[in-house]
Structure 1
Amino acid sequence: MATSAIGLFVDPHRALATAGRLKAAGFATIEVISPIPLEGADEVLGKKTSVIKRFTFFGAILGGVAGFTLAAGTAVLYLHPTGGRPIIPFPPFLIITYEMTILFGILATVIGFLISARLPAIRERAYVPEAAIDRFAVAVSCDDEECLDRAASLLRAAGAEEVRMAASRPTWRLPNEA
């Protein structure tokens, strides 16, 4: 199980500067936990790209194919006299294709959002209650003691108000677990 060194800061700019120093020092897993959105966090920690648009795109493609296949398959399975018209006419089938494209695109967007938001949050992460109220926390996850000591010393040198060591834990628990 990974252990985190967590530094608490009063000033958001100092917390972001510390995160930048930690990233420059070679630490890979750095989190800034803040009660408000921080301007400039993307520049310091690196911009994270959203995968939701890919979920939407592939969901819409799947929905369009499924809609047309549903309409065409129904027309082929249950043949009706068409009076010289094609068995699979495109214009009327585009309506169901369009509707299924929208439906599957929306459903895939919701699923993509839940996955992107990490809901339910199963991965291990550090939690500091003060960071939800009035403090800014910089958490560095480490696997060995030497890395943990180096991160703690960098956090103290950067002016952290308090440095804590916390074992990362899953953010969800079953009701009967202590």
Structure 2
Amino acid sequence: MTDAKARLHHELRGCRESLLWKLDGLGEYDLRRPMTPTGTNLLGLVKHVAGIESGYLGEVFGRPVSDPPPWFEHDMDEPNGDLWARADESSAAVTAFYRRVWAHSDATVDALGLGAVGRVPWWPAEQAEVTLHQMMVLMIGETNRHAGHADIVRELIDGATGLRHDFRFVPEEDDAWWAAYRDQLEATAREAAGR
């Protein structure tokens, strides 16, 4: 794959799938429960990335997403409102919206060249003019960043790791091996701290 736009698009699609995979097989409680002191949760991460992508690969290029869900606007009125789903916001609706955003963004990418100019209305005026290339790189970074958060949250919930079901990217060892490995890291950290 030598075309730069095709390569970026391929990377964006891959990190989207990786993020969404982290939700597979979990019930509503595990999808929503806060797993860090700041409330990080899997469904909230997906909801957040859906909102970001709809802006950067839609609105920025004069192509706002049509028929956004009711939560799309009001969540911005409260701090972190886009980082969690209310009880009446189904996980199916959040993930369906994210998939709609993918299709909308993909149409933007297909229609425009990498040099196409857009405007980010929520950025300072002197930085607001951007290209599709810049926004694709930004979205790959943002999606991968939040997929990394999701990696850790999912591992805390049930131990699942990796990019996909079929690509764990960690050694296939038993629980005893992992416990010994973690103990080794703890001992190394304490030794380093004592120097």
Task: Normalising by structure 2, report the TM-score.
Answer: 0.22
Structure showing greater Rg: 1
TM-score in terms of structure 1 length: 0.24
Q: Which has the higher helix share?
A: 2
Structure ranking higher on relative contact order (CA contacts 8 Å, 6+ apart):
1
Higher fraction of strand = 1
